[in-house]
Structure formats: structure tokens, C-alpha cells
Chain A
């Protein structure tokens, strides 16, 4: 009976694992195949990888998209961490009833669906286009700005600050550090784990963001990886081998981040619940 049950458990888990992994294997294999073979569902590696890469990097704007996505993701991650941790620290260390009220109001923004604010945001950046062109529609700044300040990260940092030894703040004051000095010299180095976890989430969110860039970016030389993949997939004569190559390259950074920092990754997810 026990044995039979075990066989069932392993079979079920194996099926779940295969179903989860299979699409990854298929996209990696398809990256080396011709378009025709991909549509036929060929599961063996082919010899078309170089050609696919050539098309992607020469006739499609893959390099530009990679550069755009990287710039956006890095700036977004940096600003998200800076602003989010400053606020999370501020709410917890300088806690007053008034700040708690503000905190609760800010958290309400987590309930706001992006679709509801997308149109006003688009119009806001549209108005900026005429007065401050470097912030308007079709700029990387417009992609970045609305995404760097989210209640989620304030919440995450505040929850983790609860575990930060407050005596360190007092010690810093006695040592004559300014309040901001305490934050940068003591808090930031002690909270490396939280920063790592938050960085992963922020980077992945930004790298994978689709709807807002789709709305706000217009010219092909501004497009990001998800926009490029989506455009390739929606074309009239899609080259499936090339699309698969783009998907693999687009997924690679987040997959690497995941495997290298798996521990922080899960911790970051949990950081939003615990406390």
C-alpha cells in the first residue's frame, strides 16, 4: 500500500516536472532549427543556430532591444531599491501614528489595477512631451518613472526593517553620524539580503514588463525585448526559429538571476508576506 502510494507520488511529481520543463527544452532545441522544422514540432537539435542569430542581430533590432531593456531594468532596479528602502526605513525607524496612517493609505495603491491608471498616465506623459520632451511619450524615462515607486517595495522593506537591530541607529547617532549617514553606512550594508531579494524582483518585473512599454514606446529603436518578441510573433510571415532564439535570449537573464540567487529569490517572495 505504502509502496503503491509512493509510485503514485513520484509519477505525479515527474509529470508535473516534465510539463514544467518541456517548453524550455523545446525553445532551446527550436533555437537551432529552421522555421519549417519548428512548425513540424521537431524535437532534435538542428544546425540553424548561426543563421537564426544572424537574422536576429542583423535584420531585427535585437541589439537595440537588449540595450534598451538592460538600461531600463538597471535604472528601474536602482531607483526602486533606493526609494523603496528609504521609505520603508523611514516608516519603521521614525514610526509615529501619523506616518502609520500615511503608510496605510499608500498601501491602498497596491489594489489599483494598472489598466485603470494606464490612460491617465499616457495622457500625463503626452502633455509632458510638448514641454519636457526627454520625459514624454516614446522615451525610456517615461517607461521607467511610473514603475519605480510601488507600495509593494515600501512594504517589503518595512517588513524586513522590523528585524533590523534599532540599537545600531542609536550607536550611529552616538558616533555622530547624520540620520542619512546612518541609513547609508549602517542600514544598507546590514540589509544586503533584503536588497538582493528586492533587486531580483524589481529587475524581473522591469525586464518582463509589457503593457506600459507597449503603450508609451512607439518607435522601433526604442523597443524592449518583450515588445520585440511580441512583434515577431504577430508578424504575417513569422520565422519560428528566429522567434525561439529571441525568446531564449530574452529569458536568459532572468533564468540566470534565478539560478544564481535562488535563495534570495524565494526570500524576496516571502518577504512580502511575513512579519
Chain B
């Protein structure tokens, strides 16, 4: 992501000698880009403008009228929205750091040159990424069921004395969602770190060893600083993903119990397609996600202090 805003000033590859053919090639170049640019305008930028206009309107279905800032005022008084916002932030603040630390830790262990069965461990931990979000969500719904395997496992180990109501207890349901997401995405992030670790110059570690650095010191003073750009990249990707979380919530808990696991995206879906449709207000809620994505990405750039 850090590359996205970067402007490089490499010499242009176009042959500038003959201006006539240059103009023609420049023109052909635009044709190569045309479909993609038109498509992104039609399917991304135009809907964004439409959503902004919608956020100032209210009414059922197609009977919309402009109501000014009413929808935005409604946000602050809407307990369901506040619950959805709080849940989404909870997922973000607990799940994303947990997953990134776990992925970093796993990648450092796997980067050891003398480790045996490296390929097996790497493939196994990455495997959850091949499942579709719906498939694994339904799977975890049953794993967390009252007679599900997770309860049975905990009962057999005598960690709990009676089955936990994973999906009907407000706190446990949130924990179940966090465990599920972590299962699905840790391996994905790990692959990024593994590949970045391979690019770190081994001599840095050797020099640190000569200076008597411990494994922990090497991790914090060499590995983490060297991986900073990729950690930034993955945390932005995960943040954007978590802010939009939908598939898992819909299929594991359906937002319940009550609204204990409801996410912003799921609330938007409910407002538009489950309750009597209020597209205007739904668009207002959706702009909250837009603002959060932009704000949080900017904060992460600032915190990481990346000059790029």
C-alpha cells in the first residue's frame, strides 16, 4: 500500500525522438487504459458519489427525498449503529494485533534454516486461506455449537465442567468470531512476512551475534524494523478488511445474540435488504466505513513514520 501514493521519477520509456509517432503512441497508450479507467469510474467512483447523495436522503425503497443532515444526526442516536460500531472496533483492536503478532512469530520460527519439515508447517498454516469465507464460517458455526467439537475438547481436558454457549453468550460469541477470523487469516499474513524475512541480509544477524545480541534483541532490533513496511502493508489490508467484515458474522452468528456481534457492514445489509429498505440511511452508515478506512490508514502511515 505504501507504493500506492508514491510517485517515482524514472525516465519515461517512450521514445521522444520523433514527436509524430510519439503522439500516436501516447494516444494508443490511452486506449489500452480506457476500459479499465471507464470501468473504475462507473463501478467505483460514480457509486461513491451516488452514495454520498443518498446519505442526505431518506424514505422507504424508491421514495427518497432530501432531508439534509438528518441521517447523520440519526447515527448518534441509533443504538444499533453504536453497537455495530463498537463491535467492529472490538474486532479491529483485538483481532488484528493478535493475528499480526502470531503471524510474525510463526514466520520467524519458520525462517530458521535448520528447521525440519519447514514446507509442511508452512503449507499447513497457510491452508485455511483456500477456504471461502462462507464455507469456513459455517464450519466454525458447528465447531462452536453446544455439542460441537470445541466444547467436547474442552470438556475432555476438564478445562470447563459444562458446555459453553459459545454462540448465544454475547462475550463468547465475539470471542468465537475473533478465533475464527484469526484461524482464516494468520497464514495469509505469515506468507508476506516469510517472504520479506528472506530479503533481510543475513550478515546483519551475524554482526548482532558477534556483539552478543540475544534472539529477542535480534527480533526487536533487526527483524521488526526491517519488516516495518510489510507490517504496515498487512495491517492496513487487515484494517480495511475488518472494517468491512460481513461473511463471517452473517454465517456464524447472524449478528446475534441480540446485536452482540453485529458489524457495520452487516447493519448496512440489514438496513437495505432485511428491514423495510432505507437506502438513504444505509448509505450514511456506509460513509462511516469510508471515513474510518481513510482515517485509520492515515493514522497507520503516521504511526509507522514511513517516509514513502
Contacts and interface: CB of A to CB of B under 8 A. Distances in A.
Interface of A: 9, 12-13, 16-17, 19-21, 23-24, 26-27, 38-41, 43, 83-84, 86-87, 89-96, 99-100, 102, 104, 106-107, 109-124, 145-146, 148-151, 154-155, 159, 166, 170, 179, 183, 204, 207-208, 210-211, 215, 225-227, 229-230, 232-234, 240, 243, 247, 250-251, 254-255, 257-258, 262, 266, 269-270, 273, 275
**Closest 8 pairs between A and B when the two form their complex, measured CB to CB:** A94-B29, A90-B32, A149-B39, A208-B132, A87-B36, A120-B47, A120-B50, A117-B47
B254 to A, nearest CB: 7
Interface stretch (B168-176, B200-208, B279-287): B279-287
A273 B192 contact: yes
B210 interface: no
A60 to B, nearest CB: 14
Contacts of B254: 234
A151 to B, nearest CB: 6
Interface string B25-64: 1101111110111011001111110110010000000000
Contacts of A120: 46-48, 50-51, 54, 283
A130 to B, nearest CB: 12
Contacts of A21: 124, 127
Given A39-B147, A90-B30, A116 B287 contact: yes
A112 B48 contact: yes
Given A20-B183, A96-B12, A251 B135 contact: yes
B135 A226 contact: yes
Contact of A12 (B12, B51, B109, B134): B109
B106 to A, nearest CB: 6
Interface string B266-281: 0011001100000100
Interface string B170-192: 00000000000001000110011
Given A116-B289, A207-B132, A13 B33 contact: no
A117 B127 contact: no
A236 B112 CA distance: 50
A119 B138 contact: no
A100 B9 CA distance: 10
B246 A115 contact: yes
Given A111-B297, A208-B135, A226-B247, 16 more contacts: A16-B125, A21-B124, A23-B139, A23-B140, A26-B149, A90-B30, A104-B7, A113-B286, A113-B289, A120-B46, A179-B25, A179-B28, A226-B133, A230-B250, A233-B138, A250-B132
B81 interface: no
B230 A13 contact: no
Contacts of A106: 36-37, 40
A110 B4 contact: yes
Contacts of B289: 113, 115-116
A273 to B, nearest CB: 6
A41 B290 CA distance: 42
A113 to B, nearest CB: 5
A187 to B, nearest CB: 11
Nearest to B252: A233
B167 to A, nearest CB: 12
B134 to A, nearest CB: 4
Contacts of B141: 233
B276 to A, nearest CB: 15
Interface of B: 3-5, 7, 12-15, 25-26, 28-33, 35-37, 39-40, 43-48, 50-51, 54, 106, 109-110, 112, 115, 120-121, 123-136, 138-143, 145, 147-149, 152, 183, 187-188, 191-192, 195, 230, 233, 240, 243-244, 246-247, 250-251, 254, 264-265, 268-269, 272-273, 279, 282-283, 286-287, 289-290, 293-294, 297
B109 A118 contact: no
A81 to B, nearest CB: 12
A270 B134 contact: no
Contacts of A99: 29-30, 33
Contacts of A104: 4-5, 7
B132 A116 contact: no
Contacts of A240: 142
Nearest to A116: B286
Contacts of A269: 188, 191-192
30 contacts: A9-B112, A21-B127, A26-B149, A38-B142, A41-B149, A86-B35, A90-B33, A113-B286, A115-B286, A116-B48, A116-B283, A116-B289, A117-B44, A117-B48, A117-B51, A119-B286, A124-B50, A149-B43, A151-B44, A154-B36, A183-B32, A210-B247, A225-B132, A226-B134, A232-B138, A243-B138, A251-B135, A266-B191, A270-B192, A275-B3
